[in-house]
Chains A and B, each alone.
Chain A
Amino acid sequence: MLRQTIAITLLSLRSVPERWGPSLVIIVGLAGVVAVFTALLAMAEGFQATLKSTGREDVALVLRGGSSAELNSGLPRDQATLIKQAPGVRHGGDGQPLASAEMIVIAELLKAGEKTGSNITVRGVEPAAFALRPQLKIVDGRSFQPGLRELIAGRGVTQQFEGARLGETLRMRGSDWTVVGVFESGDANESELWADVEVAQTTFNRRGFSAVRLQLDDASALQQVKDALTADPRLIVDVESEQQYYSGQTRQFRQTIGMLAGVVTLIMALGATFAALNTMYAAVGTRAREIATLRAIGFSGTPVVISVMIESLVLALAGGVIGALLAYLLFNNMAVSTLGANFSQVVFQFKVTPALVRSGLLIAIAIGMFGGLLPALRAARLPVTTALRAA
């Protein structure tokens, strides 16, 4: 049985080049399906990865109650001070709590080649903000000097937008700010511009903060901080870990892209299945005589079925691999930006992960199997005499 199968399979595979037209149909069709599937989900993966790695589990983010985003939140100065005193917050070498009160303002920058501007987050920070984000490093220039209208720009901003490169001046609210440094952090922070919070407050005429970040003793201290702050009658706040916050922010985008990818892939897969069936029926048809002769000689039906399915699988897999490769070469690590938290842009990269490639190839295999099954069964069941007579 096995020998028969191998013999027939090799025979049919060898003849594929003769039928290169229809065979190409399967390969190209599946390459398309897998490429589109992989590209779309790589976008979702990349976005999620960027935002996920931005948040830490042992840092608590405190916002005004019911705000849902830093942009909507506002905490007066005295409340911010109170929040920093919460139990469960680690203290620094100087005995002060490791906490950073921060203020969000939105600026507008032009994306290269666009005429309408995009919103960029400008974050006013206290010195502790750097300690709370050890992954953040200044890679070019220097950090801003407190008291001056200076900015440091995230790598993502300098790559995707104009007007915020090292040495350039940005005009905000009637005042000029100079970019004195560029930083990298490998996460969503790279999509921001940072400045001294006090200078920002005076320039933009704001008195409070948007959020307070607290370094926890450890991840389990979150509940302790939460309980303490929500119990305090002077405060109305929401407390969650940074991780939870950023996760929540991406949910909308992930859902939308997920749905889009799902629908598009489903429809394309359907179309590819029809195309595969078409090709395999044709393949079986042109070889009806050949198959019937084999069976007349004495090969049984099953090896024929298997050989047809293998042919279909091989073609489909070839297409799938090409598609995944295309997606990887064209899109992997390509940087794009979209509307993220705070109604401003988040720069992220497409990420073609091994898991994604695996899923794509599984889809190809499924289509290949289904595309080969029905024609294969037809080939096996065709009465030998009919097949021998057919032209």
Chain B
Amino acid sequence: MTRTGFVFANLLRKKTRTVLTLLSVVTAFLLFGLLQAVNVMFSAGADFVGATRLVTQARVSFTQSLPMRLLPEVEAIPGVARVMWQQWFGAVWQENTQLIFFAADPGRLHSVYPEYVMPDQQWRAFEETRTGMIVGRNLAKQYGWHIGDKVPIASNIFPQKDGSKAWIFDLVGIYDGKDEEWQRNTNVGYINYAYFDEANQFGSGFAGTFILRLADPDQAQQIAKTIDARFENSPDETKTQTEKDFNIGFFKQIGDIGLIVRWILFAVFFTLLLVVGNTIAQSVRERIPELAILKTLGFTDGNVLSFVLAEAAVMCVIGGLLGLGLATMIGIVIGGGGNFPLAVDRQVWITGVLAIVGLSLAVGLLPALRASRLSIVDALAGR
């Protein structure tokens, strides 16, 4: 036996109690993992795009399309390396599944988003095929599309010139992301802008929103101001912000998810503190004579403190890791579908581990101190 063995032996003193307390910790951290992942998805999920691009939308709303004639003026702004545009297509798959699709120029898309990784040959095919489209890997996987498929996508906004809302595109490329984060965000489809511009019933010249790649990311705020100043008081007022701010702003509108998650987790951990704390306190109370014996044997106050603290820690660590692990597995199962990239990733684990440590201290410290301070003589005499 070692000191660790001794700690574990004491935990198994009342097996039912230990198991139930452990399960309580597991469920708490399961919830923690899942909710934190949701929180991260809604708040910090925008970080990975970086600050090298600006998004210029119609000031009134991003749902309003900016006209193509603004392009030369935007391109002429100093500091702007390359400009692309993308028009929201209102794509619908099979009756009522909304998809994220844009009409864009292939060459420009490739240039402004180097993070999209796709074989050159597919980029070329996209450029050359009028009715071509490319989709992200997640999207293709979700619906089982392969290169060469003719995919029928309807638009709930733009009819074709003949009035029909049904469009068909040739899948000529599937793009991936350059790293883990970009790979998670391969849920968007692009159709050829030239075709869209010419074939839609409402006419040509809808650019949608402009996306600008900057020569120097540090200039972002300045360039944004310049652009908006240029179009102020014109019939096409713009609002320009970094891509990251654009994404955040969108998510923020869904609501203060962060607040809701924080409240729930607060309730959960408060209860957990009570549950585990009570268990540890109770088990210390029961063992006062034994702890006194330990001291008679020559274990110091410090030794006794660490024994009790270790018990609390073992419970929290094992339960916490199990809970986080379960959350990760569930996240993988749910996140398999492209539209809900719920990942219990490194960030969540780091906060999780911190929570485990915090919990261990919170529930273990007081009982441990009490145990370390008990007087041998009083304890043995039953006082």
Interfacial residues, chain A to chain B (CB-CB below 8 A): 21-22, 24-25, 28-29, 32, 35-36, 39-40, 65-69, 71-72, 74, 105-108, 114, 116-119, 172-174, 204-205, 236, 260, 263-264, 267-268, 270-272, 274-275, 277-279, 281-282, 285, 336-339, 343, 345
Majority secondary structure of chain B interface residues (helix, strand, loop or mixed): helix
Across-interface contacts of B90 in A (CB, < 8 A): 72
A232 to B325, CA, bound (A): 60
Q: A116-B248, A281-B17 are in contact. Are A337 and B235 (CB under 8 A)?
A: no
A278 to B282, CA, bound (A): 12
Contact yes or no, B61 A106, CB < 8 A: yes
A336 to B248, CA, bound (A): 19
A29 to B272, CA, bound (A): 8
Q: A67-B157, A114-B252, A271-B28 are in contact. Are A264 and B264 (CB under 8 A)?
A: yes
Chain B CB within 10 Å, residue with most, of A106, A114, A274, A285: A274
Nearest B residue to A119, CB-CB = B61
A67 to B31, CA, bound (A): 39
CB-CB nearest 3 A-B residue pairs: A106-B61, A116-B249, A271-B27
Across-interface contacts of A260 in B (CB, < 8 A): 38
Per-position binary interface string of chain B over residues 10-39, scored 1 when its CB falls under 8 Å from any chain A CB and 0 otherwise: 000010110011011001101100110010
| Closest chain A CB from B134 CB (angstroms) | 24
Contact yes or no, A174 B27, CB < 8 A: no
Contact yes or no, A116 B264, CB < 8 A: no
Contact yes or no, A339 B27, CB < 8 A: no
Across-interface contacts of B21 in A (CB, < 8 A): 274, 278
| Closest chain B CB from A213 CB (angstroms) | 20
Contact yes or no, A267 B27, CB < 8 A: yes
Contact yes or no, A271 B252, CB < 8 A: no
A72 to B165, CA, bound (A): 13
| Closest chain B CB from A124 CB (angstroms) | 13
CB < 8 Å neighbour of A72 from B156, B245, B279: B156
CB < 8 Å neighbour of A174 from B165, B235, B272: B235
Contact yes or no, B249 A117, CB < 8 A: yes
Contact yes or no, B271 A66, CB < 8 A: no
A218 to B38, CA, bound (A): 45
Across-interface contacts of A39 in B (CB, < 8 A): 263
| Closest chain A CB from B186 CB (angstroms) | 22
Across-interface contacts of B35 in A (CB, < 8 A): 264
| Closest chain B CB from A37 CB (angstroms) | 10
Contact yes or no, A32 B271, CB < 8 A: yes
| Closest chain A CB from B358 CB (angstroms) | 18
A129 to B42, CA, bound (A): 37
| Closest chain B CB from A101 CB (angstroms) | 19
Q: A66-B165, A107-B61, A338-B255 are in contact. Are A278 and B279 (CB under 8 A)?
A: yes
A140 to B321, CA, bound (A): 58
Per-position binary interface string of chain B over residues 49-71, scored 1 when its CB falls under 8 Å from any chain A CB and 0 otherwise: 00000000001110110000000
Contact yes or no, B249 A270, CB < 8 A: no
Q: A25-B274, A267-B27, A271-B28 are in contact. Are A172 and B60 (CB under 8 A)?
A: yes
| Closest chain A CB from B225 CB (angstroms) | 15
Q: Which residues of B, 169-191, contact A by the 8 Å Cβ criterion? A: none
Contact yes or no, B275 A29, CB < 8 A: yes
* Interface check B222, CB cutoff 8 A: no
* Interface check B254, CB cutoff 8 A: yes
* Interface check B356, CB cutoff 8 A: no
Q: A236-B163, A271-B27, A338-B254 are in contact. Are A173 and B235 (CB under 8 A)?
A: yes
* Interface check B268, CB cutoff 8 A: yes
A274 to B159, CA, bound (A): 57
* Interface check B278, CB cutoff 8 A: yes
CB < 8 Å neighbour of A28 from B23, B156, B274: B274
Contact yes or no, B64 A174, CB < 8 A: no
Nearest B residue to A269, CB-CB = B27
Given contacts A106-B60, A336-B256, A343-B61, 12 further A-B contacts (CB under 8 A): A21-B281, A67-B156, A105-B64, A116-B248, A116-B249, A119-B61, A172-B60, A174-B232, A263-B34, A267-B30, A274-B23, A278-B24
Q: A67-B156, A67-B157, A267-B31 are in contact. Are A107 and B60 (CB under 8 A)?
A: yes
Contact yes or no, A278 B61, CB < 8 A: no
Contact yes or no, B156 A268, CB < 8 A: no
30 example contacts (A-B, Cβ-Cβ < 8 A) are as follows: A21-B282, A24-B274, A28-B274, A29-B271, A35-B267, A66-B154, A66-B159, A68-B92, A69-B156, A72-B90, A74-B202, A106-B64, A108-B61, A116-B245, A117-B249, A118-B253, A174-B232, A174-B237, A267-B30, A268-B27, A268-B268, A270-B27, A271-B28, A272-B271, A275-B275, A281-B20, A282-B282, A338-B255, A343-B63, A345-B253
* Interface check B93, CB cutoff 8 A: no
Contact yes or no, B235 A205, CB < 8 A: yes
Contact yes or no, B165 A278, CB < 8 A: no
Across-interface contacts of B275 in A (CB, < 8 A): 25, 29, 275, 278
A382 to B363, CA, bound (A): 32
